[in-house]
Chain A
């Protein structure tokens, strides 16, 4: 990176540690995991042993008590090595935010220390087959019966399905109330009536696991309700506000890796008697990559610092971060393949993986079209 940021000593320690994990536990295997679409628990175990699942967990619950900025530093550096592994890691944060933000004291005490240690992986479950961008269309029902809730329905495209221990599930407690009739629940993997469906075959992020979830008279104690009945979508949307910057950070790592790999090729590949970097069509493309990546990084870092300052109005800016950085990653990875020509297209080289991985970033945690809806909606509030 051209722009050097003044990180604290602690942040530098974090960056060095994530880099060590990337070099040692991820880099030698990333292309293999992608090719075979396999989940290897070792990098996740390494992240757990390194305390890296505890970054955003408050200190009183065994975490480091850091903020979105540090989480994004870790996600960025990790995505440089494999965005698939980072998806498992970042999705677990997405599943822990609802407990941090809305959990009561008992729930925090019960779950957060084990999440901080990485002994329990989380998943955030909102999407259903008929409820993607239209999240309010979810059909999973939670019916209260004495001291229990009984859940029925299904979720799909759930990151960490099957490998997670804790699932945050949004379900309708009062369908008649529409968006105000949803609630958020903590479901544990061994709860009766809960099961995991088929593992999806994906274009990218193939080191991560995405599955369906089934709730068949899934009986959970009533104290698993997060917040109050009716708060389901408030909890979900607030969680996504916090999570979206993580996608932006993921985009930075992928774009940076794509630029570095293709740049190395462009400066050493000889055609017409000279390195192809000497040709303006090539070097200007790299200049454009650098412009976009530095701009995206400045945006991610500044927005997360704004969030960590305790700002309340973060929906718009976190959508801007997610949208801009993921579009940059898509553009950079596509150009990186082009700059490497036939080599870029071959699966022996990683740029095609970066390209496939980047595509998902424009889709998950709210498509970039939905992000633009959010940005437009928020924008009007600032310029009434």
Chain B
């Protein structure tokens, strides 16, 4: 089997989000980032497959340099190689521009048997990057996969559906997004590898290393235009009724009737 590539994303730590007022995109470089929680099952699946098929796991991430600690964390989990795709030109990329960069980087890592990603990020929540990347690579895409194994040179995937499961046989290489509920146990990092990775740095790839078309990068390569980002405020108004207990009951019954909550 050829190598397994896992794409991960640094997402803002909930509660620490800052939005660029000009572009309406997230200011990732100044935020405290955490590993997208949905990427943990993808990494776990990759590492279990690594164990079973004795293959190499390469983890890549597109983002600012503050993603490096997250990549190092995946090394401590058991990844063999970590790569950061980082360039000022990537800033403001939507899912399409991101998928383009990822697809180009994945192409450079050929041959590979499998690309795994989390189902969706907890910030964007689009779930678009895995299928878009597959499409740009021209290979099959499977979403919400909970189990994956090889049989006679083909991937057998179990997909979680709204009403049950689906089993699919597909020829490698493929891109699969992993169900957040795929595992009831996900490994912690290894202490030995945490100590080892202190002196390791990820390979960093920029625009020039990947032969990228500048028109397809960043804001100008992103058909998604964010008009506004705002915090949803839910305002509730209180109502104070006054009078004797009997009057209050009457008034309350009227209000509840008006709202159609009770019938008399």
- Assess whether A46 is in contact with B191, with CB atoms less than 8 Å apart: no
- Assess whether A14 is in contact with B188, with CB atoms less than 8 Å apart: no
A49 CB contacts on chain B under 8 angstroms: 187-188, 190
A340 to B189, CA, bound (A): 37
A45 CB contacts on chain B under 8 angstroms: 185, 187
The one of B187, B189, B191, B198 that contacts A64, using a Cβ cutoff of 8 Å: B191
The one of B185, B188, B195 that contacts A13, using a Cβ cutoff of 8 Å: B195
- Assess whether B191 is in contact with A51, with CB atoms less than 8 Å apart: yes
The one of A42, A51, A52, A54 that contacts B185, using a Cβ cutoff of 8 Å: A42
Chain B min CB distance to A56 (Å):
13
A62 to B191, CA, bound (A): 12
Q: Which of A18-26, A97-105, A321-329 contacts B (4 or more CB under 8 A)?
A: A18-26
Against B, the Cβ 8 Å flags (1 = close, 0 = not) of A44-71 are 0110011110100000000010000000
**Is B208 on the interface with A (CB-CB < 8 A)?**
no
**Chain B stretch 160-191: residues in CB contact (< 8 A) with chain A:** 184-185, 187-191
- Assess whether B194 is in contact with A46, with CB atoms less than 8 Å apart: no
B198 CB contacts on chain A under 8 angstroms: 9, 13
**Is A17 on the interface with B (CB-CB < 8 A)?**
yes
- Assess whether A25 is in contact with B191, with CB atoms less than 8 Å apart: no
A10 CB contacts on chain B under 8 angstroms: 195
B259 CB contacts on chain A under 8 angstroms: none
**Chain A stretch 1-20: residues in CB contact (< 8 A) with chain B:** 9-10, 13-14, 17, 20
**Is B233 on the interface with A (CB-CB < 8 A)?**
no
A9 to B185, CA, bound (A): 29
A78 to B185, CA, bound (A): 19
**Is B192 on the interface with A (CB-CB < 8 A)?**
yes
A24 CB contacts on chain B under 8 angstroms: 188
- Assess whether B195 is in contact with A50, with CB atoms less than 8 Å apart: no
- Assess whether B194 is in contact with A13, with CB atoms less than 8 Å apart: yes
Size bracket, chain B contacts: 10 to 19
Which residue of the partner chain B has the closest CB to A42?
B185
- Assess whether B189 is in contact with A17, with CB atoms less than 8 Å apart: yes
A64 to B191, CA, bound (A): 9
The one of B185, B188, B192, B194 that contacts A21, using a Cβ cutoff of 8 Å: B188
- Assess whether B188 is in contact with A20, with CB atoms less than 8 Å apart: yes
- Assess whether B185 is in contact with A50, with CB atoms less than 8 Å apart: no
Against A, the Cβ 8 Å flags (1 = close, 0 = not) of B180-219 are 0000110111111011001000000000000000000000
Which residue of the partner chain B has the closest CB to A50?
B188
- Among B185, B188, B190, B192, the one with the most A-chain Cβ atoms within 10 Å of its Cβ is B188
B194 CB contacts on chain A under 8 angstroms: 13, 17
- Assess whether B191 is in contact with A13, with CB atoms less than 8 Å apart: yes
**Interface size in chain A (residues, C-beta < 8 A):** 18
Chain B min CB distance to A338 (Å):
36
- Among B184, B185, B191, B192, the one with the most A-chain Cβ atoms within 10 Å of its Cβ is B191
Chain B min CB distance to A366 (Å):
30
B190 CB contacts on chain A under 8 angstroms: 49-51
A308 to B189, CA, bound (A): 27
Against A, the Cβ 8 Å flags (1 = close, 0 = not) of B2-16 are 000000000000000
B187 CB contacts on chain A under 8 angstroms: 45-46, 49
A13 CB contacts on chain B under 8 angstroms: 191, 194-195, 198
**Chain A stretch 30-48: residues in CB contact (< 8 A) with chain B:** 42, 45-46
B188 CB contacts on chain A under 8 angstroms: 17, 20-21, 24-25, 46, 49-50
A14 CB contacts on chain B under 8 angstroms: 191
A20 CB contacts on chain B under 8 angstroms: 188-189
A45 to B48, CA, bound (A): 14
B195 CB contacts on chain A under 8 angstroms: 10, 13
Which residue of the partner chain B has the closest CB to A9?
B198
Which residue of the partner chain B has the closest CB to A41?
B185
Which residue of the partner chain A has the closest CB to B193?
A51
A126 to B143, CA, bound (A): 54
Against B, the Cβ 8 Å flags (1 = close, 0 = not) of A318-340 are 00000000000000000000000
Chain A min CB distance to B211 (Å):
39
B192 CB contacts on chain A under 8 angstroms: 51, 54, 64
A24 to B194, CA, bound (A): 18
- Among A13, A20, A52, the one with the most B-chain Cβ atoms within 10 Å of its Cβ is A13
A46 to B188, CA, bound (A): 6
Which residue of the partner chain B has the closest CB to A25?
B188
**Chain B stretch 203-261: residues in CB contact (< 8 A) with chain A:** none
Which residue of the partner chain B has the closest CB to A24?
B188
A20 to B186, CA, bound (A): 13
A90 to B124, CA, bound (A): 43
A52 to B192, CA, bound (A): 9
A13 to B185, CA, bound (A): 22
A49 to B190, CA, bound (A): 6
B184 CB contacts on chain A under 8 angstroms: 42
27 contacts between A and B (CB under 8 A): A10-B195, A13-B191, A13-B194, A13-B195, A14-B191, A17-B188, A17-B189, A17-B191, A17-B194, A20-B188, A21-B188, A24-B188, A25-B188, A42-B184, A45-B185, A46-B185, A46-B188, A49-B188, A49-B190, A50-B188, A50-B190, A51-B190, A51-B191, A51-B192, A52-B191, A54-B192, A64-B192
Footprint of B on A, CB under 8 Å? 9-10, 13-14, 17, 20-21, 24-25, 42, 45-46, 49-52, 54, 64
Beyond A49-B188, A50-B191, 9 extra complex contacts between A and B, CB < 8 Å: A13-B191, A17-B188, A17-B191, A42-B184, A50-B188, A50-B190, A51-B190, A51-B191, A51-B192
